[in-house]
Homo-oligomer: A and B are copies of this chain.
Amino acid sequence: MRHRLKDVAERAGVSVKTVSNVVNGYVHVRPDTRARVEEAIAELNYRPNLSARHLRKGRTGVIALAVPELDIPYFAELARYVVTAAAAYGWTVLIDQTGGRREQERVVASGITDHLIDGLIFSPLALTAEDLAGLDGTPMVLLGERVEHGPADRVVIDNVTAAREITAHLIQLGHRRIAAIGSQRTDEGASARLRLAGYTDALRAAGLDYDETLVAPASAWHRADGAAAMRGLLTSGVRPDAVFCFNDTLALGALRALHEAGLRVPEDVAVVGFDDIEDGRFSIPTLSTVAPDKEKIAQLAVELLANRLDGDRTAPAKELSAPYRLELRESTQAP
């Protein structure tokens, strides 16, 4: 059986509250009393009941991270950094997988975990600002562009500028027929919209025409979608000399499709992605990409949450921007 404060108290011959004071590091406890209590704690292997503590204190020391899918490497890597950053505050991270479905996201946002968690870091795909309006519950930090107009603190990266820079890199290498893979018509494609904007900006700045046939949609951003989109571009007869994929998994799929079509990368077609997932550092060829500083994103998100928990919960929402850099590898230049 698990032991309670009461058991420890009886063993140490003190009151329940004194044991509680020892556990919580209260100063006014005589050294010998403290020692006796600590001994009893060790002997019984006592561990506080977090539910009871939460019920009393209103804090659990647990925060949640909600992401669309864990087996998208970007989110898995991000999750690792969030867990690490949260550990610095003594927090445990509960990871929730929403599948990107609006209903599930709404459930998570309105607190599926209910009173179990102190705060939420949330990377929504389908959720709208309206879904969040009127949520008075758990403090929340949003990741990414999906929900704008500040219903909650947010951490973003400058997608438009990053997309413009990586596209400009392709242009500077001499590419002129640059395809884009990953555009999305739906409202849900907030990142897609911004990255497409950066792409068109770069074309315009270089005096290149925007050619709609070079822009391939992708409803999801998995490897299979990237491969399918690339095959579609190739069979439709457009012959790009470079491809900007809106994330790395799309790009890895595109690399595969180009390989199957007998085209060499980067000699025949240059390829860039976005996210800097680990796969891209070992793919053949290695993948040029936009590398958001995931560690920084995680740290900022945890920090915003900490401020919100300790500080003014009604203060206006803050928005922080995380840095990124271009990671230029083999897929845009011969080894």
Q: Is the Cβ of A95 less than 8 Å from the Cβ of B92?
A: no
Interface status of A151 (Cβ within 8 A of chain B):
no
Cβ of A115 within 8 Å of any chain B Cβ, yes or no, is yes
User: A220-256 interface mask toward B, CB cutoff 8 Å, 1 = contact, 0 = none?
Assistant: 0011100100000000000000000000000011011
The stretch among A35-43, A181-189, A279-287 that forms the contact with chain B is A279-287
Nearest-neighbor residue (CB-CB) of A81 within chain B:
B71
> B62, B76, B259, B282: which contacts A76 (Cβ < 8 A)?
B76
Q: How many copies does the complex hold?
A: 2
Which residues of chain B have C-beta atoms less than 8 A from A60's C-beta? Answer: 51, 116
Chain A interface size, as a band, is 35 or more
Q: Which residues of B contact A95 (CB under 8 A)?
A: 70, 79, 93-95
Q: Considering the chains assembled together, what is the distance between the CA atoms of A51 and B224 in angstroms?
A: 42
Asked whether, in the complex, the Cβ of A62 is within 8 Å of the Cβ of B116, the reply is yes
Closest to A222 in B: B278
Interface string of A73-97 (1 = CB under 8 A from B): 1001101100100000000111111
Query: Is the CB of A47 closer than 8 A to any CB of chain B?
Result: yes
Q: Can you name the residue of chain B whose Cβ is closest to the Cβ of A47?
A: B114
Give A92-136 as 1s and 0s: 1 = Cβ < 8 Å from B's Cβ atoms.
Answer: 111111000000000000111111100000000000000000001
Shortest Cβ gap from A5 to chain B (Å): 13
Choose among A116, A222, A282 the residue with the greatest number of B CB atoms under 10 Å from its CB: A282
Report yes or no: A223 in contact with B114, Cβ–Cβ below 8 A: no
Question: Contact partner of A1 among B112, B136, B256, CB < 8 A?
Answer: B136
Given A69-B80, A71-B76, check contact A115 B282 (CB 8 Å).
Answer: no
* A323 CB–B CB distance under 8 Å: no
Say if the beta carbon of A49 comes within 8 Å of chain B. Answer: yes
A13 within 8 A of B: no
In the assembly, what is the distance between CA of A318 and CA of B147, in Å? 47
| Beta-carbon contacts under 8 Å, A1-52 to B | 1-2, 45, 47-52
Shortest distance in angstroms between A63's beta carbon and chain B's nearest beta carbon? 11
10 cross-chain CB contacts under 8 A: A48-B114, A51-B55, A70-B70, A70-B77, A71-B80, A79-B95, A79-B97, A93-B95, A227-B282, A259-B284
Question: Hey, which bits of chain A sit against chain B, CB under 8 A?
Answer: 1-2, 45, 47-52, 54-55, 60, 62, 69-71, 73, 76-77, 79-80, 83, 92-97, 110-116, 136-137, 222-224, 227, 252-253, 255-256, 259, 278-279, 281-284
Complex A-B, nearest 3 residue pairs according to Cβ-Cβ distance, in ascending order: A95-B95, A49-B115, A94-B94
